[in-house]
Structure 1
Amino acid sequence: MNYLKKIVKWVLLLLLLPFSYIIISLLLTFITVNAKNHPEINTETIYLSTNGVHLNIILPITQIEAAVLRDIKYFDDDSYLSFGWGEENFYINTPNWSDLTLRNAIKALFVQSSTLIHVSRHRAKQSDWTEVKLSKTQLKQLNSYLLHSFKIDENGHKTMLLDQGYTPSDDFYKAHGNYTILNTCNTWVNTGFKESGLKACLWTPFDFGLINKYE
């Protein structure tokens, strides 16, 4: 009987953990930081995009500092670059949600592993992007956040993974940080906004929290 009680106790605990994670995540997602207007005039424009799960930061190339652009592949007819961050194995082996496996999902959430920055090139603004207005100072801080997210080699260069992009318009670069259940792709975007003085969630693993604050 005692053995059965222990089993029931552990089963209930295992069920309670994901439920608690979701509830706490939702509460922190709806708490807004940097909500007060910035003293500077918001003269600059960037964008957020989501595929329904994964957030990206999109900047006009003219608003991206030279240090960030260095070693990044783009062409003269490209107007925007999109930046996303995530776990390397998950990015490379799960190009579509139909490719998702339980093993890859568990590894991404619970096993510390290397990360990548996903850079996509766009020639024109897309209708489903969410506009974000910001000041020159905030834009500079966001550029700094992006720059320091890239892993730099011993020669001071970013490292691009050859022939690993999903399409001819995107590439992957080595990144700093570890992807975990507490530090997801959307947490990375939200942290960048927080550190740049932009309106953001207190903390979130979701895409909708930050998007909703700008719609």
Structure 2
Amino acid sequence: MSMLNAVRITPYSTIGKAVGRFIVRALIIALALIALYLGLALAGSLLPANNGWIEPRQGVQIFVYSNGTHTGIVVPTVNDVQDWRAVVKPEHLSDPRYGKSDHLLFGWGERNFYLMTPTWSDVRISVAAKSLFFSRRTLLHLDYIHSPVPGPNMRPVTISKAQYVRLVQQIEGFFRRDEKGNTLPVKGYGPADKFYESNGHYNVMQTCNNWTGAQLRSIGVRVGIWTPFSQSVMWWFANPSGRVRQ
């Protein structure tokens, strides 16, 4: 009986060991990929694009905003370059009174994650994983802000008028539109915000924070060459008084 038991047990023991080795190897590979990603994120966050950029003393003041996880860009609702009310109409809001705000906060991200996680307590691993690896659609998130106050999470940046023209063109290019050229609003979280159907693909490399960094890099502002995290963006603007100005 002992020999018979040995014959029966051995195959299962061998399979168990093989499964164990596979799991260990999978964990090692996963940890190595995470470490590689974090290493690249650190390098991309610290290495500057547009290293020679000098912030002008006069121009258009925008803000770089963070809620600790997501970043976005705050722009004037109306100036001599752009009247955003023709693109994001106050009547799209559930309470149009907020449409009188003098600044707008633009962010960009994965559609399902935005809509299914109004608060961080609503985050589900399945939704987060799908947004990082299997995303198909994106949204622009628009918040109406009145008189933004500079602070740790609201950093003022002055850019030239020409740079602002390019920034406007870039952000407008992310709006999906219908056959008549109208933007496509989607219900927001509350009375002072709105989502809009957007262009672009969200993934582990092109995150909401890298979107913010990419808009700034593209107009010549000094920021990291790849900014996947909120901190990757914000630390470049952490000391406004210490930035070089013309």
Q: Which runs of 4+ in 1 moved over 6 A?
A: none
- Which whole-Å CA distance do the structure 2 matches of 1:71 and 1:45 have between them? 20
TM-score (norm 1): 0.91
- Which whole-Å CA distance do the structure 1 matches of 2:192 and 2:55 have between them? 37
2:51 is aligned to 35
- Which whole-Å CA distance do the structure 2 matches of 1:39 and 1:211 have between them? 16
Identical aligned residues as a percent:
29
2:182 is aligned to 157
Deviation at 1:29, TM superposition (A): 0.6
2:34 is aligned to 18
Q: Which shifted more, 32-41 or 123-132?
A: 32-41
**Alpha-carbon displacement from aligned partner over 1:19-57 (angstroms, at most 9, x marks no partner):** 211111111111111121359664221001111000010
**Structure 1: tracts of 5 or more residues without a match:** none
TM-score (norm 2): 0.80
Q: Which shifted more, 134-143 or 10-19?
A: 10-19
- Once superposed, what is the RMSD of the aligned Cα atoms? 1.9
- Which whole-Å CA distance do the structure 2 matches of 1:186 and 1:194 have between them? 12
The 1:39/1:204 distance shift into structure 2, 3 A limit, reads closer
Task: Work out whether residues 56 and 158 of structure 2, in 8 Å CA contact, stay in contact via their aligned partners in 1.
Answer: no
2:82 is aligned to 65
- Which whole-Å CA distance do the structure 1 matches of 2:227 and 2:199 have between them? 19
Deviation at 1:78, TM superposition (A): 1.1
Helix, strand or coil at the partner of 1:213: helix
Say yes or no: does 1:8 pair with 2:24: yes
Helix, strand or coil at the partner of 1:83: strand
**Alpha-carbon displacement from aligned partner over 1:105-138 (angstroms, at most 9, x marks no partner):** 1011111221000011112213431011111111
- Which whole-Å CA distance do the structure 2 matches of 1:109 and 1:130 have between them? 28
Deviation at 1:200, TM superposition (A): 1.5
Equivalent pairs, count: 212
**Structure 2: tracts of 5 or more residues without a match:** 1-13, 91-96, 239-246
More helix by share: 2
The 1:51/1:184 distance shift into structure 2, 3 A limit, reads same
Q: Which amino acid aligns with 2:88?
A: I
- Which whole-Å CA distance do the structure 2 matches of 1:39 and 1:130 have between them? 13
1:207 is aligned to 230
Helix, strand or coil at the partner of 2:78: helix
- Which whole-Å CA distance do the structure 1 matches of 2:86 and 2:100 have between them? 17
